[in-house]
Amino acid sequence: MSTFGTLFDLDGKQKRADEINQAMAAPGFWDNRDRAEQMVQELRRLSLTLKPLKELVAESDDLSVLLEFAEEDETGESTLELAEAVERLEKQLRALELRTLLASPEDICGAYLSVQAGEGGTDASDWAEMLLRMYLRWAERRGYDIQILDRSDAEEAGIRNATVAIRGEYAYGYLKGEVGNHRLIRISPFDAAGRRHTSFAAVDVTPELGDDIQIEVDFEKEVREDTYRASGAGGQHVNKTSSAVRLTHLPTGVVVQCQNERSQHKNRAMARKMLLAKLYQMELEKREAELAAKRGQKSKIGFGGQTIRNYVLHPEQYVKDTRTGLKVSNPSAVLDGELDAFIEAYLKWRVAQGQTVESEARTSA
């Protein structure tokens, strides 16, 4: 067995997957539906880890063969092939290590990502659109599916707000650390005097829930529905009919809206999914607040809350995360979708924060 297989407990994961498969084949598996759905979800997560892990183990075992070839090959071609294999293996290993940090049931889900312009007028609207493009570019690089659910353009430039669905394995897990305020400092292209401006935009991320995660809502009694004419793309038909749907959850005040479909029925169905996702997200935030309280800190999560990242384009040029301290000196690349360094740093930071809480809890006990 390769060192990688031992490190990630390939045998243990495979054994657990086999146990679940045997349980699923047994009669009466679905008698306890809640337990059955939990096991199905666990098997899904295991399967997504086992496949790349087996590939990693197989490639690592091949390195010894390449090493032998390199030692005997005087042309240097085998050495070059070995170097390429090692580099490829390192990338796969990093990706797998990052995935091990995504253990929550909702991490595997797709994500609804919303961007809303904050303080700063036209600059803020332009900044919101720049952020939206950044996330879309990131999703495209990963091969995720993208669907624009709602978009409201600003008068001069940019957007007031927009919501997109980003669908793919672990989209929510990777993006959940993007929630909060994002601050841009630059020479404003909209200021004739060429002065420096500070703009804000808020980002929210909620999981696109699977069927195994249930949230109970009485849509008849607890939700108010409003319809209106869509203002986004879609042609004359969309603009002439009240196809867009806005839902307000009365007990919490949560509002979601969808206007991407020509059909009011389809927009309503999507808006309901978004509402359930947001309510689920609120439960996660309560959990986060409890963890923060254990640290003696205030919870700083939530849409439009903490400023989590600064993007400085003048006079210096850098992007810095306020939580992890990670600083990158190439903002152009970041704004073009190169977010993986920030995502990885956040997930590791989050795990460290959780370990701190557990340590403090053991000490107090």
CB 195 within 8 A of CB 188: yes
Looking at CATH, the fold of the domain delimited by 105-356 is given as Alpha-Beta Plaits (3.30.70)
Residue reference for tokens 């940090």 = 101
* Cα torsion through 188, 192, 194, 197, rounded to 10: -30
pLDDT at 285: 79
Give me the percent of the chain exceeding a pLDDT of 70: 82
DSSP designation for 76 = S
Residue 79 has pLDDT above 60, yes or no: yes
Per-residue pLDDT tens digits for 301-356: 444 568 999 999 988 999 999 999 999 999 999 999 999 999 999 999 988 876 54
pLDDT at 241: 64
Instruction: List, as own/partner pairs, every contact residues 21-25 make where C-beta atoms lie below 8 angstroms and the sequence separation is at least 24, other chains included.
Output: none
CB 120 within 8 A of CB 197: yes
Question: How many residues are there in the chain?
Answer: 365
Per-residue pLDDT tens digits for 228-244: 877 654 433 445 567 88
Per-residue pLDDT tens digits for 135-188: 999 999 999 999 999 898 988 899 999 999 999 989 999 999 999 999 999 999
What is the number of helices (H) and of strands (E) in the chain?
11, 11
DSSP string, 179-207: -EEEEEEEE-TT-TT--EEEEEEEEEEEE
Per-residue pLDDT tens digits for 128-144: 999 999 999 999 999 99
CB 232 within 8 A of CB 150: yes
Q: Which CATH architecture has domain 3-99?
A: Up-down Bundle (1.20)
Domain with CATH 3.30.70.1660 in the chain: 105-356
CB 196 within 8 A of CB 312: no
Domain with CATH 1.20.58.410 in the chain: 3-99
